Structure 1
Amino acid sequence: MTSPLHAQVFESRDPAEIHEFLAATYDPALRLGGGEDGYRLVHRRVDTGPFALATTGQTADLDIRVDDIGGLVVCRTRTARVERACDGSADRFDPGDVFLVTRPHLPGALRWEPGEVEICVLDLAVLAQVATTAPARRPGQIRFTDLGPATPALARQWRNTTRYITDVVLTNPITSAQPLVIGNAARMLAAAALTVFPNTAVTDPTTSDQRDASPATVRRAVAFMDEHADQDITAADIASAAGVSLRAVQLAFRRHLGTTPMAYLRRIRLDRAHHDLVRADPRRDTVSAIASRWGFASHSRFTARYHASYGVPPRETLNT
């Protein structure tokens, strides 16, 4: 099984062709104005399914109106200046700024001056996975209460997250073909977005969550992880299998094991990778391929974790 990763490069000086491409890629109802015949747009995009990352630059003053992009769209200006109007607010952004293009399912307007921007489109279902409080009481639509980052430090966190995913995950053909890696990257982006931009996602455990954070919950969760470690499971999936809320299973692992459910899952996957390295043929198999199969995108981080756990680098295990 491989991920649906699709890399695309589009370049044109034809305004009609540019409009058709942007509408097909982002919003069928997109309206594009401004510019002159012969202005140039270059768009490089990697679409994984649950998220897409793009870098696009153009040479004109463009007016863009969207009705419903259908995902969470985060923009970072590289060299362009952008004005945005959405839900009664109007703002101007300079190179380096990070912002939401619009609230999900609401129209918005942009004035995009010549230059380059980075765009991340995140599936709203991934946001819901990360923010889910309980299997039977999923939150309503998450509402972002501000279209800008809460602090400049959090804006830097967003830039660092997208840079890591671009440089470590998407540029490596081994890791980018692994569903576990792509799933982890999508949830990393979702968690970053929910941290960076103020929103209404519920985070505090309830009285029921406190009661459900029991050793029995841990046992059910661990059994599910052991059985499904090779699949792209989420913390919400683990909570659902344990029959409790996400906050309860997080609290149970912290209370009884001193860790988080996803950190425990990484430990299981590290053990599986160790097992595969022991049985692998060094003439055909590589450390990177085995690590990425179990969801480890960064070779250096995998090596450090492996060495800390087993006392030797993974290459030594493979070659023994």
Structure 2
Amino acid sequence: MLRDEAAGAMPGFIAGPGGSGGRVAVSTHDRGEAAVILRRAYPRLRFDLGCADGPFVLRHSVVGDGRLSSTELVLAGRARASGTHPDGVVAVGEVLGGRLSLEPARSGVDPARPFLRPPGPARMTSEDLHLRTTELDEPAFRAAAERYGHQGAPLRPGPGGAPSPSACAAWAWTASHIQRAARDPHVLDNPIVAGELFDLAVRTLLACFGDPDEDRGAVALDAPRSLRRAVGYLEEHALEPIAIPDVAAAARISVRSLQALFRRHLGVSPVEHLHAIRLEGARKELLRGAGGDCGSVRAVAERWGFGNSGRFARLYRARFGERPSETLRGRR
């Protein structure tokens, strides 16, 4: 049974640049209907959903406008797709569940990290996929990037992942925030709010995927040195017990200034940022699917500083949309 909350072609129905926000959400348990939905959503890709028996589900939603949008795709079972990704779009994908392999990318996508989707020819294979893609209009993105002193092509080509757990955590938080905000159809009607969301996406993109050969900070383009020192300390000592006064000392500022700095530039507290770094690290281990006691959910959680397995599972599911045991089971 097809459920369609808005009419029109899937991402094409969204208002053009400068238009107000839109939303589409469709779902079906029928492979034939799913094929139609996917053709409308991705007209340049050809999907093969197979014909296996058993439960099947497709869920596809898009929120945003022509300048900034967030797409979420849930596709059960195994699937293949081939064709081309469109030009004129800067797109970052995140595998929130299941498996995904993309070409061209000889080593495939690292599902533990956000990846920059390259335009042009591509082939994809997936299994029980849960994918979120954040897309920015490329001309608008490049114009914004130039305001921050980035000329030409400021992003590293190919689907390489973000360079550090901190950057991964920053992008995951940004993408989730954009998705939640854009679900309100009136948010993007406000040019101030829409501009702030787009600016946040641009700055985080440049921080996560900017050319490492250029001289720029790893946290944000205009991040103070004290913030970079603090984040560097959290990353370096993520597997060790960390006290906030130690972080402040490493950043050479007071605890109060440290808290304010993280809130102002990252939108979270130092402890929340540390949790994000540790969750990303734990997820990466679980996605490797290591066997034995050292690869159990409990062992991974404890190694990354989560002594309470129940709390770890709640934080993990809130961040990645699945239980840690599901991630581990999916990679074995």
Q: TM-score, normalised by structure 2?
A: 0.52
Aligned residue among 25, 30, 33 for 2:45: 30
Would you say the 8 A contact 1:145–1:200 is kept in 2? Answer: no
- Cα distance in 2 for partners of 1:190, 1:134 equals 10
Aligned match for 2:99, one of 81, 90, 93: 81
The Cα offsets for residues 210-247 of structure 1, whole Å up to 9 and x where unpaired, read as xxxxxxxxxxxxxxxxxxxxxxxxxxxxxxxxxxxxx9
Give the 3 Å change call, closer, same or farther, for CA 106–200 of structure 1 in structure 2.
farther
Matched, 1:192 2:204: yes
Matched, 1:6 2:22: yes
SS in 2 for 1:11: strand
Displacement of 1:172 in angstroms is: 4.0
Instruction: From 76, 87, 99, give the equivalent of 2:115.
Output: 99
Q: Show structure 1 runs of 4+ deviating over 6 A.
A: 200-204
Deviation, 1:124, is 0.8
Structure 1: runs of 5+ lacking an equivalent: 205-246, 251-299, 302-320
Q: 2:62 is matched by which residue type in structure 1?
A: R
CA distance in 2, matches of 1:75, 1:55: 10
Q: 1:200 to 1:192 in 2, by over 3 A?
A: same
Larger Rg: 1 or 2? 1
Within 5 A, what are the aligned runs for 1:210-289? none
User: In the aligned structure 1, how far is the partner of 2:130 from the partner of 2:201?
Assistant: 21
Partners of 1:126 and 1:186 within 8 A in 2: no
Distance 1:171 1:124, change over 3 A: same
How far, CA to CA, are the matches of 2:62 and 2:36 in structure 1?
Answer: 16
Mapped pair 1:41 → 2:54: no
AA matched with 1:73 = A
Tell me how far apart the structure 2 counterparts of residues 203 and 5 of structure 1 sit (CA, whole Å): 36
Alpha-carbon spacing, 1:134–1:61, altered in 2? closer, same or farther (3 Å): closer
Structure 1 match to 2:81: 64
Q: Is the 8 A contact 1:131 1:201 kept in 2?
A: no
Structure-2 residue corresponding to 1:180: 192
| C-alpha displacement of 1:143 | 5.0
Q: Distance in 2 between matches of 1:121 and 1:36?
A: 31
TM-aligned CA distance change 1:130 to 1:65, over 3 Å: same
The letter for the 2-side match of 1:50 is R
Could you tell me which residue of structure 2 aligns to residue 161 of structure 1? 174
Q: Judging changes above 3 Å, is the alpha-carbon distance between structure 1 residues 6 and 150 closer, same or farther for their aligned structure 2 residues?
A: same
- Judged with a 3 Å threshold, the aligned counterparts in structure 2 of structure 1 residues 106 and 203 are, in CA distance, closer, same or farther, namely farther
Unaligned runs of 5+ in 2: 1-17, 223-262, 265-332
Q: Which amino acid aligns with 2:164?
A: T
1:304-319 counterparts in 2 under 5 A? none
CA distance in 1, matches of 2:131, 2:81: 14
Q: Return the offset for 1:158.
A: 0.3
